[in-house]
Chains A and B, each alone.
Chain A
Amino acid sequence: MEFISPELDYAALAPMIVVGVAAIISVLVEAFAPRSVRRFLQLVLVFTTLIGALVLVVLNSGMRVLTGGQSIALDGPAWIMQGTILILAILGGLLMAEGGVDPSGDAFAPRASALPGSEDERQFTIRGYLQTEVWPFLLFAVLGMMLFVASNDLLMMFIALEVMSLPLYLLAGMARRRRLLSQEAALKYFLLGAFSSAFFLFGAALIYGYSGSIAFGPISFAITTKAGENTLLLIGIAMLLVGLFFKIGAVPFHQWTPDVYQGAPTPVTGMMAATVKVAAFGALMRLLYVAFGGVRWDWEILLWIVAILSMLVGSIIAISQSDIKRMLAYSSIAQAGFILVGVVAASPQGLASVLFYLIAYGFTTIGAFAVISLVRNASGEATSIRDWAGLGKKSPLIAAIFSVFMLSLAGIPLTGGFIGKWGVFAAGVAAGDAWLVIVAVIASVIAAFFYVRVIVLMYFADPTPDTAAVVIPSGFTTVSLAAGATLTIALGIVPQPILDIIANAGVFIR
């Protein structure tokens, strides 16, 4: 067997290369820069990199190339998703950089190695140590996500999945407060994530056995030319989908979501909830449309079932949640179901609607978690929904902004969430999935109930002695929050510019 080194289109790969190189530099900064300047250096490095990569993505956005021996596809949807991931990572990064909310530092444990509750930990806290290892993790995770949405073969997709996931497992375990909960969540996330990766890898092997290739093009070709027995193919698809369903948090692969959303430091939860959804749905659609478009009728029914389960289970369970982060976790499960309605449509309209949904959902989610990170009481963030009673009286502005996010998630008009929901539902109906859409609309009504319950509690209940207070953040969170709120409303009132960009992006290339 002869190995041929693949042709690489460096211009098209530039955004990812920039992020990857910066991630390595970031590790070196950790190793060699003195503690006093480390945080400053990391922040400059991270935000310059992310903004620089975003500029490159915008410059590249006209390109439609397959590179790296067809293993990476940089097409319209890929650019949109990479750009979205970068913007969301910038906003999420701003939340992570916030140092003025917690009286003892930022959202992260001063030393992840110190045992929770130990004397060491107390010393580190008193000395005001800040952990800066989170920044290389962020960059590596972003790199993985960018690669994930552009992967055009199963191996590349697997590598991207791991590059994306491993830093996230670690980030989830680094909360400054409630560290045991955070570490437990991280461990669960890691174990289950590794488990799901194994499924994915197993699926990739089966598909290789079926088609003799790991690249999407040849797999698709094999499906159209091979007649007859395809059990191997279908089991392979099933295993691959298990891995991806896990990442998007679809039922029945969702159980990690509430624990991790609750346990992870809130800025990380916000960043992760927004960006991973984009990345995983991007990969899911490329895999299904490009590689397995030929057996669409086989996987369609499966997506129906998963979508319905996710919407109903997510919405119904969210009703009885008493912790706001857990509620948003179940909400994210339901949202995954709604997005799947657009994925099932398997049409250009469906793809466009999913892209819009992801963008709207991303900004809203980051904003919502930004608010959660500000609503605090003596023991840290006040995540018990009961402590939000009467917040509308104590902090009208923050309560109003959070209401906007809740209304957007509920899909009420004049928010981005409404246009997004309408888009995926319309695509679903147009593709002939009327019954699925009926279930989706009913689920969205159930979902509206718990989103609005928070609003009702904030405005229609009187503050109690336990009512949390809103901490005035520094510029980092303020910018992120303002961007989230502005974009959520703008996407509802003037969605056309974004819709045009998505329309110009076209579909996946093969």
Chain B
Amino acid sequence: MTEPGIFSLLWVLIALPLAGAAILLFGGRRTDRWGPYLGVLTVCTSAVIGVLMLLGLMALPAEERSITQTVYSWIAVGSLQVDFALQLDQLSMVFVLLITIVGALIHIYSLGYMAHDPDRRKFFGYLNLFVAAMLLLVLANNYLLLYVGWEGVGLASYLLIGFWQYKPSAAAAAKKAFIINRVGDVGLSLAIMLIFVTFGSVTFGEVFGQVGEASEGTLTAIGLLLLLAAAGKSAQFPLQAWLLDAMEGPTPVSALIHAATMVTAGVYLIVRSHVIFDAAVWAATAVVVVGLITIFMGAIIGSAKDDIKKSLAGSTMSQIGYMVFAAGLGPIGYIFAIFHLLTHGVFKAGLFLGAGSVMHGMNDDVNMRRYGTLKGLMVITFVTFMAGYLAIIGIPPFAGFWSKDEIIHAAFERNALIGVATILAAGITGFYMTRMIAMTFFGKARWEEGVHPHESPKVMTIPLIILAIGSTLLGMALLFWGNIESWLEPVTGFASEPTPFPTWVYIVVTLIVVIIGAIIGWVMYARRPVPIEAPRGSWLTRAARKDLYGDAVNDALVVRPSFALSKALTIFDARGVDGFVNGLAGSVGAISGRLRRTQTGFARSYALSMVGGALLVALALVLVQS
């Protein structure tokens, strides 16, 4: 189906924020005054176009809701034909709306939050760049173009994490995010190559149409590589370590990139490639396992952190774990993975912006142990934060209830054990979120001297209010009015299996567990006084404060060995050649001794290594001759 009416504007969706980024970043100081407003305008316009496209799609019959727009032929060599082509279907549509609408709200909020930053023009430039890249990622109609968006959001993310570069911790965090993400990118690039070799194409439609012809081993390999990619971008075990440090970026960035949109790209990738996972059981099982581990890791970390943003980051890891987990369940889970992704995108963005609003009033202090009893001083922030709180722990009728409940139910459809695990994790969610609100809004004031908490300006609170309304209503709206199940089914497929008990039993049990978790959190942090210095805590708390030793493991296994290897090779390359050649080819030892006396400088050792190399080359050829 080609591109009638509004859909001919598909490329404009991406071009607008891209143009915004270009003008802001290359325009220099000239654009300082009006630049930020331009940045807001481009994203808002994209959001409006996105909504119009949704209306356009809804007007079409379900089987015609996939529109492809070929911008131009990008690479065409022999059998490799890749177009710069965009594809809008039900799945990418919901992402476009999430990215542009939440993106627009966060842009507006940033007008207030970043009002006094000297570099805010650049900030809006990077944000625009991010939106453009993220839209490209979800609109690409082939894996190679998706990869372009994938790298683009990564780039924007590093730039924004390191935005306050005068803080060494910010620069270090940006570098860490980059390195860990490269590991995930290896997975994606290898997956794409394997896909190309197996199917002779990288276009989604053509690849998925031929999945039946590939062997299960190949599909499993592709699936595992895609999982590696998803783990990198979505901060899943074992590539989770960068997300907590990424909180060094400005809070709107944490809300947009590291909670609502970019970190869910991994979930998008898995759901988009669901045809491959459907045919590769082991890969899908691996997805479930990774998701489950991350649900608990994130929840435990979120329970121990005193930094409000890091606690929320742990929670993000955990919630994305839920989505990845659901995506691994197969057709019973795909739709709910996306459903939870949408509700989470809205309520977590609200929570982060709320945290930003609190920080704004507390002189940018992030330590919850120095907050307390803010509920009366920041009424709008408090009320909107509560909406997000009720949504994330899953109290009906707030948004998170509907989506998380569906995932838990789907887990029970597969296996009672993993179902129980997800309920348990929901209980921990109740605990750490209650801890957060108790320490922040209730209890006694533990403020630093000279801090005068105050409510944020309207430009910040209005986005909070809109997101709070979303956190309250979005679940019901998508489920009952938007009919998300039948909307996504043509793309993702849908299946349902019987469970031993009726649905309401699971709902009630989950709610009871969540409320128990919340009560424990309330008793520990609202009833008892919160010490300003963190107590030593149990071994689990201490481990969780250190991100469950993620850094230590990375450092010991990867960082230190690679630097040592590089140093050693350098020394070897410059000076150790004589020894190398002597050791390797003892027979030339005598000659080498004579040569050494007749020549000076390093050139002799270089020449020697050439002789050694030539011997190797000759031997390799002669010995392995066929």
Contact = CB atoms under 8 A, between A and B. Distances in A.
A238 B612 CA distance: 12
Interface residues of A, number: 73
A298 interface: yes
Interface stretch (B279-287, B486-494, B615-623): B615-623
B75 A192 contact: no
A251 to B, nearest CB: 8
Contacts of A259: 602
Contact of B179 (A245, A449, A502): A449
Contacts of B625: 230-231, 234, 298
Interface string A406-418: 0000001110000
Nearest to A392: B165
B323 to A, nearest CB: 26
B190 A438 contact: yes
Nearest to A315: B566
A297 interface: yes
A503 B567 contact: no
Contact of B621 (A191, A255, A299, A425): A299
Contact of B165 (A246, A313, A460, A494): A460
B129 to A, nearest CB: 12
B624 interface: yes
Contact of A234 (B72, B183, B613, B618): B618
B608 to A, nearest CB: 10
B613 A188 contact: no
A426 B196 contact: yes
A474 interface: no
A460 B174 contact: yes
Interface stretch (A62-70, A91-99, A316-324): A316-324
Interface in A180-214: 184, 187-188, 191-192, 195-196, 199
Given A459-B165, A496-B74, A448 B182 contact: yes
A336 to B, nearest CB: 14
A461 B190 CA distance: 33
A419 B609 CA distance: 34
B148 interface: yes
Interface stretch (B54-62, B105-113, B439-447, B569-577): B569-577
B503 interface: no
A231 B622 contact: yes
A319 to B, nearest CB: 4
Most A CB within 10 A of own CB, among B170, B182, B185 = B182
Interface in A437-451: 437-438, 441-442, 445-446, 448-449
Given A231-B622, A237-B621, A452-B178, A187 B603 contact: yes
B534 interface: no
A301 B619 CA distance: 12
Contacts of A188: 601-603, 606
A234 B621 contact: yes
B504 interface: no
B75 A238 contact: no
Contacts, number: 174
A462 B607 CA distance: 43
A259 B74 CA distance: 39
Contacts of B4: none
A212 to B, nearest CB: 21
Given A426-B196, A495-B75, A320 B620 contact: no
Main secondary structure of the interface of B (DSSP, over half): helix
B162 interface: yes
A325 to B, nearest CB: 15
Interface in A387-422: 396, 412-414, 419, 422
Interface residues of B, number: 65
B575 to A, nearest CB: 11
Interface string A218-245: 0000000000001100110111011001
B329 interface: no
Interface string A274-308: 00000000000000000000000111011001100
Contacts of B152: 413-414
Interface string B555-586: 00000001101110110010001000000000
B614 interface: yes
A422 B144 contact: yes
Contacts of A456: 162, 171, 174-175, 178
Contacts of B610: 192, 195-196, 199, 242, 246, 252-253
A321 B566 CA distance: 9
B22 to A, nearest CB: 12
Given A246-B610, A456-B175, A496-B74, A305 B185 contact: no
A423 interface: yes
B193 interface: yes
B621 A298 contact: yes
A255 B147 contact: no
A256 interface: yes
Interface in A496-510: 496, 499, 502-503
B615 to A, nearest CB: 9
Interface stretch (B76-84, B264-272, B404-412): B76-84
A188 B610 CA distance: 13
B523 interface: no
A298 B624 contact: yes
Interface string B193-228: 110110000000000000000000000000000000
A438 B620 CA distance: 22
Contacts of B189: 425, 441
Contacts of B185: 445
Contacts of B612: 252
B613 A319 contact: no
A437 B617 contact: no
B626 interface: yes
B496 interface: no
A467 interface: no
Contacts of A438: 190
Of B28, B612, B614, which is in contact with the most chain A CB atoms at under 10 Å from its CB? B614
29 contacts: A234-B618, A234-B621, A238-B614, A239-B614, A245-B613, A245-B617, A255-B573, A255-B605, A259-B602, A297-B626, A302-B617, A302-B620, A319-B562, A319-B563, A320-B567, A413-B152, A414-B152, A419-B75, A425-B193, A430-B197, A437-B190, A441-B193, A445-B182, A445-B186, A452-B178, A456-B174, A459-B162, A499-B77, A503-B78
Interface of B: 28, 72-80, 144, 147-148, 151-152, 155, 159, 162, 165-166, 170-171, 174-175, 178-179, 182-183, 185-186, 189-190, 193-194, 196-197, 562-563, 565-567, 569-570, 573, 577, 601-603, 605-607, 609-610, 612-614, 616-618, 620-622, 624-626
Given A414-B152, A441-B189, A442-B186, 17 more contacts: A195-B607, A195-B610, A231-B625, A246-B610, A252-B610, A252-B616, A255-B605, A316-B565, A316-B566, A317-B566, A349-B78, A352-B77, A413-B148, A429-B193, A449-B182, A499-B76, A503-B77
